[in-house]
Structure 1
């Protein structure tokens, strides 16, 4: 296996040389014997900052591949954390050992096990699940491995089931009856959070999102895990429904089951058993924002700064985002610009989920009035 040395953040690591695994001039990270995805640098950059806020004593990188994530946590997160690197691929383990050595990391344990196996053996302050595809097979075990008041993070790249484009797959992986709606980018992350909460409840634990976002082609979520059957029961009450009217464009996220549109009486499209609460913890977002100045060296510093600023404002709106293109099409009118809609509504903001979406506390009639007024 020929290796290439790269730099990411403050870490230097060896990865399989992509040129050796190209097919007809193209390369996919999954074709290499050890996985390294350069498109996930933003994910890892922001995760480094989030882990610096958490400041865990023990970290488990359960699907380590090249080891880049765990290495960066130890080097850049201002923590003397012990990191457990794990991968079931023996070639990954050999490469992790090499990468740990060249980064002069001493407080590291490297194991060659199935991720679920090791996660049922240990307890940690922070567990990171960054799979290729769905995190669903690792949710129960990762919650099991997370101590009380510890944190667990998930990446999900299987957007088709989460956003309702692959209904049967969503039912199998997430036990949610999903369907494609105009604000499915947000529904997807709420489906994932719902699955995490329901899996945690099996262990008489619960979890709440402290950081969650959509970027590029994936979701990333940090959850705080707490013990207690009562807490689990209380949090399960925050599961509910996403509803949308295909006739008038009304949509909502609600704990109560509604089958008829409250605006026009039409039958509603419904997604069941999703998270209805906040997607982020405001204090956690503020702490990330305060620490940003320490991470100006990151390639994605400005983009992270912009995202966190948006999330801080978005978090004030528990309502789902409104897809302006979808709503305008129901009234056969032009799509208004976000800036003009925000100005008209006064109590509204952009959403990071969708360039054609806004969040607002105004009622649906006021939204329609602004769309018509602008046109």
Structure 2
């Protein structure tokens, strides 16, 4: 295997030469014998920033591939006393050993099935960054997370979570759903709901602390706390979102049922069970924003800063975003400028989920009035 050296964050990394695995001038990271995706750099930068708030003593990267994520945590956060880097691919673990040695990282490197490993160990922070769905690893990852520890999941199977593929949504995430106008946010709410239900099985409460939609993936950090009563309170915030495709009317209910729009008389589309609570813990989010000054070397610094500024504003609003082009089309008006809408509604913000959307706790008729005026 021909290796090349790259640099990411504060680490030097050996990876398989992408040129050796090109097909007809194209390259996909999954074609390489060891997975390394440069498009996930922002994901890893954001994760380093989040860990600067968490300050874990023990870290598990259960699907390590090249080892870049766990090695960056060790080097860039400091204070990590135990690091476990795992991948079931022996070619990957051989490369992880080289990269750990190259960066003077003291890590326990294992070649195990991720679920098997996660039922053997406990850690302050567990990272699940799969190629595809995190669903097969959710229960074991929560099980491996210590009380008051943290676990993070990446999901790239947005077609399932956003309900472009309703059968896949049901198989992987227990979702009964249709595509709604704000599905980009519903996808992450569906993922959070699934994590909470999996934690409930073993009486561990999973509190969403930080949620991100970027490019083609979701990334969510959870704080885990033991206790059946805590779990029960979280389960009370699982519900179903309904939307009328004719007038845009919305409802949230805690039972799955056939609903008729009270305004139009047609059957509404449904998505759920989904998390109906906050997507961000504001204290955690503001701490990340404050700590960013310590990571000026990030290649994605400007993007991360811009994202955090938007997240801080949109975290003020619990309700899912409204898509302006969708509402404008329903009332046969031109799409309004977002700035005009924010000024008219007063209590509203941009959303990172969709450049066409706004976050607000106002009702749809108030948004319609602003578009018309």
TM-score, normalised via structure 1 length: 0.97
Matches of 1:351 and 1:265 in 2, distance apart? 31
1:212-251 equivalences under 5 Å are: 212-251=211-250
The answer to whether the aligner puts 1:81 opposite 2:110 as a matched pair is no
Residue in structure 2 matched with residue 168 of structure 1 by the alignment: 167
Matches of 1:81 and 1:168 in 2, distance apart? 43
CA contact (8 A) 1:255 1:276 kept: no
Aligned residues: 372
CA contact (8 A) 1:253 1:320 kept: no
Taking structure 1 as reference, are residues 179 and 17 closer, same or farther at Cα in structure 2, changes over 3 Å only? Answer: same
Matches of 2:343 and 2:255 in 1, distance apart? 31
The answer to whether the aligner puts 1:177 opposite 2:176 as a matched pair is yes
CA contact (8 A) 1:65 1:96 kept: yes
Residue in structure 2 matched with residue 13 of structure 1 by the alignment: 13
| Helix, strand or coil at the partner of 1:320 | coil
Residue in structure 2 matched with residue 127 of structure 1 by the alignment: 126
Measured after TM superposition, the shift of residue 252 of structure 1 is: 4.5
Measured after TM superposition, the shift of residue 80 of structure 1 is: 3.0
**Cα offsets for 1:264-315 (capped at 9, x unmatched):** 4432111121100000100000100110100011011111111111111111
Residue in structure 1 matched with residue 190 of structure 2 by the alignment: 191
CA contact (8 A) 1:241 1:255 kept: yes
Residue in structure 1 matched with residue 210 of structure 2 by the alignment: 211
Taking structure 1 as reference, are residues 87 and 120 closer, same or farther at Cα in structure 2, changes over 3 Å only? Answer: same
Matches of 2:191 and 2:47 in 1, distance apart? 18
| Helix, strand or coil at the partner of 2:353 | coil
Matches of 1:159 and 1:361 in 2, distance apart? 26
Residue in structure 1 matched with residue 367 of structure 2 by the alignment: 367
Residue in structure 2 matched with residue 202 of structure 1 by the alignment: 201
Residue in structure 1 matched with residue 112 of structure 2 by the alignment: 113
Residue in structure 1 matched with residue 70 of structure 2 by the alignment: 70
Measured after TM superposition, the shift of residue 257 of structure 1 is: 5.9
CA contact (8 A) 1:252 1:320 kept: no
| Helix, strand or coil at the partner of 1:349 | strand
| Helix, strand or coil at the partner of 1:367 | helix
The answer to whether the aligner puts 1:338 opposite 2:338 as a matched pair is yes
The answer to whether the aligner puts 1:101 opposite 2:105 as a matched pair is no
| Helix, strand or coil at the partner of 1:242 | strand
1:207-356 equivalences under 5 Å are: 207-255=206-254, 259-356=259-356
Measured after TM superposition, the shift of residue 160 of structure 1 is: 0.3
CA contact (8 A) 2:65 2:93 kept: yes
Measured after TM superposition, the shift of residue 260 of structure 1 is: 2.8
CA contact (8 A) 2:248 2:364 kept: no
**Cα offsets for 1:65-106 (capped at 9, x unmatched):** 000000000001132332100000000000000000000112
Of the structure 1 ranges 174-183 and 256-265, higher mean CA displacement relative to structure 2 is found in: 256-265
Taking structure 1 as reference, are residues 99 and 261 closer, same or farther at Cα in structure 2, changes over 3 Å only? Answer: same
Structure 2: give runs of 5+ residues left out of the alignment.
none
| Helix, strand or coil at the partner of 2:177 | coil
Matches of 1:342 and 1:162 in 2, distance apart? 29
TM-score, normalised via structure 2 length: 0.98
CA contact (8 A) 1:21 1:31 kept: yes
1:56-67 equivalences under 5 Å are: 56-67=56-67
Matches of 2:28 and 2:208 in 1, distance apart? 31
Matches of 2:5 and 2:182 in 1, distance apart? 41
| Helix, strand or coil at the partner of 1:343 | helix
Matches of 2:304 and 2:260 in 1, distance apart? 40
Instruction: State the Cα RMSD in Å.
Output: 1.1
| Helix, strand or coil at the partner of 1:280 | coil
| Helix, strand or coil at the partner of 2:221 | strand
Matches of 1:346 and 1:202 in 2, distance apart? 42
Measured after TM superposition, the shift of residue 261 of structure 1 is: 2.6
Matches of 2:244 and 2:41 in 1, distance apart? 38
